Amino acid sequence: MKVCVIGAGVIGCATAYTLQKAGHEVTVVDAASAAGTETSFANGGQLSYSYVEPFASPSTFFSLPRYLFGASSPVRFRLQADTRQWLWGARFLWACRRKRTLAGTNALLALAQESRAALESWMNEGELAFNFARNGKLVLCPDARVLASQAAQVAAQAHAGVRQELLNRDECVAREPALRHYASRFAGGVWTPTECVGDSHLYCQALEGAARARGARFVYGSEVRRIVQRHGRARAAVTAAGEVEADAFVLCAGVGGRGLAASLGERLPIYPIKGYSVTLAMRPDSPPPTVSVTDLSRKMVLAPLGGRLRVAAMAEVVGYSRDVPSERVDQMLDAVETIYPGLCLREDTAPWAGLRPATPDSVPIVRRSRVPNAVLNLGHGGLGFTLAAGSAMRVAHLLGEPARDCA
């Protein structure tokens, strides 16, 4: 079957690779100039299979006043003249109920486990190189209250077979000695030994290369304006250069997916949550950190990645701008100096901003659309790198089934 995949971020590249391997004839169309240059470019690099708590949670809800009015808060909300933002915000608040958070956690855990299994099998085939490392993840909790809420999450996830340990402060420092100067700033943490890291951009390139080697086509610099339908089925993706016809379409367009899905009669609750990263060289005379660290108080991840330190942070609901304010970069660099004093060089920081395509409850939308031969693979929020492989397998499963009208 001829399949047109729209979007060559990590979700589109994993989908194209999976479908081409499954015997389909895949064409990927992307508005950008190469694979993985939008949100998938310089994310936190964590393959976070076990630590998947949705952003909307009771603890986020109760922290909102502090987050929203703190001068240098990692979370920011700026009201836009955009009803999509208001509706998304209302649904986000509704998703903060404990019941919804638990349901979201379970849905994300299931997809994450499928992703882990898929990636393991792809890695065994030996064609994907992307600075992958299994170095475990340590989540630092600033105080006893946050530690207690994390303990509840660990207990809930234990029922799903997830292996995690609660550590006190000294045990955290024993796990990651580079944290010794920062020990007075956290009460303890959650250690997940099975988590991994990798470079999402290299992953996209590796998936693209492997898909191309099997015959997939990638068309860049081509924005899809809409999908045209004939007789109730999607027939072509319309670009400025002409139409790309196919038997089936998969929307993997990240934050651009919402507008495209409208041409299929779908109103999707996807809105950008903006974040930033810097990628830093480490001084050769300082022992580098070995594990991936998340600092909950700063909403920051610090991952050793191919000899450098990738630092990603912030969650801003502020519209679609991708600008990188110097104040946010300084905030991240100052935080790195506090957490790992003297470790990193401050020049050549590669500052970057990305828009997480977020649903209110953090659960991605992977299903057939109202038009039966068009599939949605969208809304992966802060976990797209982690969930790409499992989502791609679900899409392959959907396309393998006989099309049925879901309208």
Ligand X SMILES: Cc1cc2nc3c(=O)[nH]c(=O)nc-3n(C[C@H](O)[C@H](O)[C@H](O)COP(=O)(O)OP(=O)(O)OC[C@H]3O[C@@H](n4cnc5c(N)ncnc54)[C@H](O)[C@@H]3O)c2cc1C
The backbone region for 223, taken as left when phi is positive above 0, alpha when psi lies in -120 to 50, beta otherwise, is: beta
| Residue positions counted in the chain | 407
CA 249, 250, 251, 254: dihedral to nearest 10 degrees? -150
d(CA 275, CA 229): 36
CB-nearer residue toward ligand X: 289 or 381: 381
Told to check if 198 binds ligand X by CB under 6 A, we report no
Told to check if 189 binds ligand X by CB under 6 A, we report no
Q: Candidates 140-148, 188-196, 334-342, 380-388 — which segment interacts with ligand X by CB under 6 A?
A: 380-388
> How many residues bind to ligand X according to rule CB under 6 A?
41
Judged by CB under 6 A, the residue of 18, 20, 27, 46 near ligand X is: 46
Judged by CB under 6 A, the residue of 3, 6, 317, 336 near ligand X is: 6
CA 345, 350, 351, 357: dihedral to nearest 10 degrees? -130
Q: How many other C-beta atoms are found inside a 10 Å radius of the C-beta of residue 177?
A: 10
CB-nearer residue toward ligand X: 23 or 325: 325
Extract the tokens encoding 235.
């027939």
Q: Candidates 92-100, 122-130, 323-331, 381-389 — which segment interacts with ligand X by CB under 6 A?
A: 381-389
Q: How many other C-beta atoms are found inside a 10 Å radius of the C-beta of residue 58?
A: 14
Judged by CB under 6 A, the residue of 31, 216, 389, 399 near ligand X is: 31
Residue ranges of the alpha helices (H) in 200-284? 200-213, 257-262
CB-nearer residue toward ligand X: 141 or 358: 358
Shortest CB 231 distance to ligand X, Å: 24
Q: How many other C-beta atoms are found inside a 10 Å radius of the C-beta of residue 66?
A: 10
Query: Please, what sign has the CA dihedral across residues 166, 384, 375, 361?
Result: positive
**Which x/- pattern over 298-337 shows residues binding ligand X (rule: CB under 6 A)?**
---x----------x-------------------------
Told to check if 7 binds ligand X by CB under 6 A, we report yes
Q: Candidates 6-14, 70-78, 111-119, 241-249 — which segment interacts with ligand X by CB under 6 A?
A: 6-14
Q: Candidates 27-35, 109-117, 135-143, 396-404 — which segment interacts with ligand X by CB under 6 A?
A: 27-35
Question: 276 and 313 in contact (C-beta within 8 Å)?
Answer: yes
CB-nearer residue toward ligand X: 188 or 364: 364
d(CA 260, CA 227): 7
d(CA 337, CA 198): 23
Q: Which positions lie near ligand X, rule CB under 6 A? A: 6-12, 29-32, 38-40, 43-46, 48, 223-224, 252-254, 256, 260, 275-277, 301, 312, 354, 356-357, 380-386
